Amino acid sequence: MSATTCQSCRAPIVFARSVSTNKVMPFERDPAGEWAVELGQATHVGPAPREPIEGVPTVERWISHFARCPHADTWRGRSRGRR
Ligand SMILES: [Zn+2]
Protein backbone atom coordinates (compact mmCIF):
# COMPACT_ATOMS: atom_id res chain seq x y z
CA MET A 1 0.00 0.00 0.00
CA SER A 2 1.52 3.29 -1.01
CA ALA A 3 1.15 6.21 1.34
CA THR A 4 1.19 9.53 -0.41
CA THR A 5 -0.33 12.98 -0.25
CA CYS A 6 -3.25 14.35 -2.18
CA GLN A 7 -1.92 16.44 -5.01
CA SER A 8 -4.80 18.86 -4.57
CA CYS A 9 -5.04 19.48 -0.84
CA ARG A 10 -1.88 17.78 0.55
CA ALA A 11 -3.85 15.51 2.86
CA PRO A 12 -2.07 12.26 3.73
CA ILE A 13 -3.79 9.49 1.81
CA VAL A 14 -3.27 5.97 0.60
CA PHE A 15 -4.48 4.36 -2.58
CA ALA A 16 -6.32 1.06 -2.26
CA ARG A 17 -8.44 -1.06 -4.53
CA SER A 18 -12.05 -1.45 -3.50
CA VAL A 19 -12.90 -5.14 -3.29
CA SER A 20 -16.48 -4.38 -4.34
CA THR A 21 -15.88 -2.15 -7.36
CA ASN A 22 -12.28 -3.16 -8.14
CA LYS A 23 -11.42 0.50 -8.57
CA VAL A 24 -8.44 2.19 -6.99
CA MET A 25 -9.54 4.99 -4.70
CA PRO A 26 -7.76 7.41 -2.37
CA PHE A 27 -8.45 6.97 1.34
CA GLU A 28 -7.62 8.99 4.42
CA ARG A 29 -7.56 7.90 8.06
CA ASP A 30 -10.77 8.66 9.94
CA PRO A 31 -12.02 6.87 13.07
CA ALA A 32 -15.56 7.37 11.75
CA GLY A 33 -14.73 6.00 8.32
CA GLU A 34 -16.56 3.01 6.92
CA TRP A 35 -13.63 1.35 5.16
CA ALA A 36 -10.90 -1.02 6.28
CA VAL A 37 -7.74 -0.84 4.21
CA GLU A 38 -5.30 -3.72 4.25
CA LEU A 39 -2.56 -4.74 1.82
CA GLY A 40 -3.80 -2.27 -0.75
CA GLN A 41 -7.35 -3.56 -0.62
CA ALA A 42 -10.27 -1.57 0.73
CA THR A 43 -13.30 -3.26 2.19
CA HIS A 44 -16.46 -1.40 3.08
CA VAL A 45 -17.15 -2.43 6.67
CA GLY A 46 -19.91 0.03 7.53
CA PRO A 47 -20.12 2.52 10.37
CA ALA A 48 -17.88 2.01 13.38
CA PRO A 49 -19.54 0.47 16.43
CA ARG A 50 -20.02 2.93 19.25
CA GLU A 51 -18.09 0.63 21.54
CA PRO A 52 -15.58 -2.10 20.69
CA ILE A 53 -17.21 -5.49 20.22
CA GLU A 54 -15.69 -8.28 22.24
CA GLY A 55 -13.80 -10.72 20.06
CA VAL A 56 -13.81 -8.38 17.06
CA PRO A 57 -10.46 -6.75 16.47
CA THR A 58 -10.58 -3.00 16.08
CA VAL A 59 -9.53 -2.09 12.57
CA GLU A 60 -8.04 1.12 11.36
CA ARG A 61 -10.81 2.99 9.67
CA TRP A 62 -10.55 5.00 6.52
CA ILE A 63 -12.81 7.26 4.56
CA SER A 64 -12.84 7.86 0.84
CA HIS A 65 -10.83 10.96 0.09
CA PHE A 66 -13.07 11.60 -2.91
CA ALA A 67 -15.82 12.55 -0.48
CA ARG A 68 -13.53 14.68 1.66
CA CYS A 69 -11.19 16.45 -0.70
CA PRO A 70 -11.96 20.15 -1.00
CA HIS A 71 -10.69 19.89 -4.57
CA ALA A 72 -12.71 16.87 -5.62
CA ASP A 73 -13.60 18.59 -8.88
CA THR A 74 -9.93 18.57 -9.76
CA TRP A 75 -9.79 14.85 -9.05
CA ARG A 76 -12.69 14.12 -11.32
CA GLY A 77 -11.30 16.26 -14.06
CA ARG A 78 -7.95 14.53 -13.77
CA SER A 79 -9.33 10.98 -13.90
CA ARG A 80 -11.41 11.88 -16.92
CA GLY A 81 -8.32 13.16 -18.69
CA ARG A 82 -6.41 9.96 -17.95
CA ARG A 83 -8.80 7.73 -19.85
ZN1 LIG B 1 -7.44 16.13 -1.50
Q: How many helices (H) and strands (E) does the chain have?
A: 2, 6
Residue 11 is which amino acid?
Answer: A
* pLDDT higher than threshold 60 for residue 80: no
Domain that holds residue 57: 2-82
Say how many Å lie between the CA of residue 18 and the centre of ligand 1.
18
Asked whether the beta carbons of 65 and 26 are under 8 A apart, the reply is: yes
Asked whether the beta carbons of 16 and 1 are under 8 A apart, the reply is: yes
DSSP, res 47:
S
pLDDT of 28: 95
Kindly report, residue by residue over 2-41, the tens digit of the pLDDT.
Answer: 789 998 899 999 999 999 999 999 999 998 899 999 999 9
This prediction's pTM: 0.75
> Based on the structure, what is the number of domains in the chain?
1
CA 13, CA 22: separation in Å to the nearest integer? 18
Say how many Å lie between the CA of residue 49 and the centre of ligand 1.
27
Type and span of the H or E element at 41? strand 41-44
